[in-house]
Amino acid sequence: MHESIECAESGLYTRPAYRLTREDSDHPVLLVCEHASRFIPVALNDLGLDETASQEHIAWDIGALLLAERLSETLGATLLSANYSRLLIDLNRPLHVPDSIPAQSEIYQVPGNHDLDDATREYRQQCLFHPFHDRLRTLIDQRLAANRPVRVVGIHSFTPVFYGQPRALEAGVLFGEAKAYAQRIVDGLCRHSLRAAGNQPYKINPLTDMTVPVHGDGRGLDSVLIEVRNDQLRSPEAVRTWSAYLAPLL
């Protein structure tokens, strides 16, 4: 299917779009890490970014995959994680929004995403976006068909400084319809004297977000997106600590 679209990037996306861990788990939580990887095929020259920028938060959620993997291990829960950078296509954005394939991310221009033709955009969608979301949809379908409970939990991280402004918040729990589930997690984190809040530092928007509105709220399932400030996830010990905080609350 991929090769039916002729474009400059044809044949570049040779690794799978996602990695699936503990597929056969019976745990009700289904972990999702859409911004797990900063991988960009070598031929794309980091989309024109310098080495520093290509390793920064704009390319991936630093520490998020490590936390998601630890939670998957601790809970014995299924984890679906992305294998490519969100700069190629953002798996937590609907295809129609401008930052689905961002030409600029925060303060950084992304030259390799400027003036992309429709064929290249569609090729990235077919190679990266649709396989990920089709797999997530199938995982949910299988669980619901077996009358099993499902909770969809996205694992993300955010920067300590945003446009020059420090962020005191250590964790946020983003939600749409699953207010009670989100509040339970926030309250549990606050009991550890952590600075946590609901729908901060971002809010779920059904028009510009994908995982929670589509795969969670859209199917009547409890669904949240966990955001941890990435300076809290810079060591294996820190990741284990945050997993210990979160696992009993999910």
Q: What is the pLDDT of residues 121-160, one digit of tens each?
A: 999 999 999 999 999 999 999 999 999 999 999 999 999 9
Average pLDDT over residues 156-169: 90
C-alpha closest to that of 64 among 204, 225, 245, 205: 225
DSSP letter for 134, please.
H
CATH classification at residue 242: 3.40.630.40
Q: Number of helices (H) and strands (E) in the chain: give both, helices first.
A: 6, 11
Q: What pLDDT shows up at residue 4?
A: 61
Kindly report, residue by residue over 36-72, the tens digit of the pLDDT: 999 999 999 999 998 888 888 889 999 999 999 999 9
Please give the distance of CA 29 from its chain centroid, rounded to a whole number. Answer: 15
- Asked whether the predicted pLDDT for residue 2 surpasses 70, the reply is no
Residue type, 119: A
- Which domain covers residue 239, as residue numbers? 2-249
Please give the distance of CA 229 from its chain centroid, rounded to a whole number. Answer: 14
| Residue 105 binned pLDDT confidence (cut-offs 50, 70, 90) | confident
> Could you tell me the pTM of the whole model?
0.95
Token reading at 69: 């993997």
Identify whether the C-beta of residue 127 lies closer than 8 Å to the C-beta of residue 91: no
pLDDT more than 90, % of the chain: 88
Q: What pLDDT shows up at residue 56?
A: 83
CA 208/CA 146 separation, integer angstroms: 31
Q: What pLDDT shows up at residue 1?
A: 42
pLDDT more than 70, % of the chain: 98
Number of domains in the chain: 1
Q: Is the peptide bond before 201 cis (omega within 30 degrees of 0)?
A: yes
Tokens 């709220």, located at residue: 217
DSSP string, 15-47: S-SEEEESTT---SEEEEETT------GGGGGG
